[in-house]
């Protein structure tokens, strides 16, 4: 199993005309990714007795039946089994690119062969300050230590991604194993974009889904509040046909195992994307 890591050129973007030593006053950081291997989110529901352990204290959980952006699979679950209508939507998202760099910086450093990985856990809620309801990212991880170091001067809370990759077979893709918030998730059947188009009979080859946008709120240090937006321009969209196993005794692991549904929406492959932090 190969550990994710490497020395990519992931430094905060510096606005045009701004001196480099003033960068830490920037209110926006943009990471640009090329060669999207795959991106997708595991959707689940959190029982009311678990949300307090997963959401920040200044957020209130959002009921699934009050979430206007609820994914169709989760909506079908609460419509078929009304006892889950008061549960709270959650997601674990994975984005893996061949290369990533900060906007405005040349990508001159050698990228790791495993690519660059971004992981996050998010729970639906409403901030007590009146911010409109949405997904709060309670943990964001990156596989590049330089980005973690640089983020501190911007009052961002980023963690090191602990992940590994195992090739299952030529046709069934790879296993991605990630550790996040005390839970270990093994995603089987993930395939890089080039392999997916040639070997996965369920892939949507030729399907151009158009731009995809995901949004979250993110609490930083010293009461800094960030909006986090992922914009993808994928080459293809395909269903996820693999399986996910969960281990660990953390609150996240218990919430995932207790969910009435674990559903991975479409996987997006190929193309490019960017991840935009603003405060």
Q: Any idea where the domains of the chain sit in the sequence?
A: 30-278
Least confident of 173-177, 220-224, 225-229: 220-224
Alpha carbon distance 116, 99 (integer Å): 6
Alpha carbon distance 96, 201 (integer Å): 22
Q: What is the pLDDT of residue 170?
A: 67
Phi first, then psi, for residue 100 (nearest 5°) are -140, 145
- The HSE-up count of residue 256 (CA atoms within 13 Å, CB side) is 26
Mean pLDDT computed over every residue of the chain: 81
What is residue 195's DSSP assignment?
A: H
Q: What topology does CATH give the domain 30-278? A: Acetoacetate decarboxylase-like (2.40.400)
In terms of pLDDT, which residue wins out, 258 or 278? 258
Q: What is the pLDDT of residue 8?
A: 30
Contact yes or no for 114/2 (Cβ under 8 A): yes
Give the pTM.
0.82
Contact yes or no for 10/144 (Cβ under 8 A): yes
pLDDT at residue 101 greater than cutoff 90: no
Closest alpha carbon to 209 in 264, 276, 267, 274? 267
pLDDT at residue 197 greater than cutoff 50: no
| E strand or H helix at 258 | helix 251-258
Q: What is the pLDDT of residue 248?
A: 97
Alpha carbon distance 120, 271 (integer Å): 21
pLDDT category, 22, cuts 50, 70, 90? very low
pLDDT at residue 278 greater than cutoff 60: yes
pLDDT category, 229, cuts 50, 70, 90? very high
pLDDT category, 104, cuts 50, 70, 90? low
pLDDT digits over 109-159, tens only? 555 566 789 999 999 999 887 778 899 999 999 887 666 666 666 777 788
Least confident of 8-22, 99-113, 134-148, 178-192: 8-22
Closest alpha carbon to 123 in 66, 180, 182, 43? 43
């Amino acid at each position: 199993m190969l550990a994710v890591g490497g020395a990519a050129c992931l430094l905060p973007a510096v606005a045009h005309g701004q001196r480099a030593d003033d960068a830490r006053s920037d209110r926006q950081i943009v990471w640009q990714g090329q060669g999207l291997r795959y991106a997708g989110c595991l959707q689940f529901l959190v029982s009311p007795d678990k949300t307090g352990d997963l959401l920040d204290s200044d957020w209130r959980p959002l009921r699934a039946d009050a979430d206007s952006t609820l994914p169709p699979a989760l909506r079908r679950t609460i419509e078929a089994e009304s006892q889950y209508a008061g549960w709270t939507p959650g997601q674990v998202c994975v984005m893996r690119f061949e290369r990533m760099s900060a906007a405005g910086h040349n990508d001159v450093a050698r990228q790791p062969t495993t690519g660059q990985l971004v992981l996050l856990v998010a729970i639906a809620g409403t901030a007590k300050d009146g911010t409109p309801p949405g997904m709060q990212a309670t943990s964001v991880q990156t596989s590049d230590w330089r980005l973690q170091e640089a983020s501190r001067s911007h009052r961002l809370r980023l963690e090191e991604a602990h992940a590994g990759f195992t090739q299952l077979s030529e046709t069934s893709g790879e296993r991605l194993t990630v550790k996040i918030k005390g839970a270990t998730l093994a995603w089987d059947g993930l395939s890089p974009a080039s392999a997916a188009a040639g070997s996965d009979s369920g892939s949507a080859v030729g399907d151009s889904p158009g731009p995809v946008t995901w949004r979250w709120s993110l609490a930083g240090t010293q009461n800094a509040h960030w909006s986090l937006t992922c914009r993808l321009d994928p080459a293809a969209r395909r269903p996820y046909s693999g399986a996910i196993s969960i281990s660990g005794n953390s609150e996240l692991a218990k919430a995932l195992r207790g969910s009435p549904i674990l559903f991975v929406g479409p996987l997006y492959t190929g193309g490019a994307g960017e991840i935009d932090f603003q405060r």
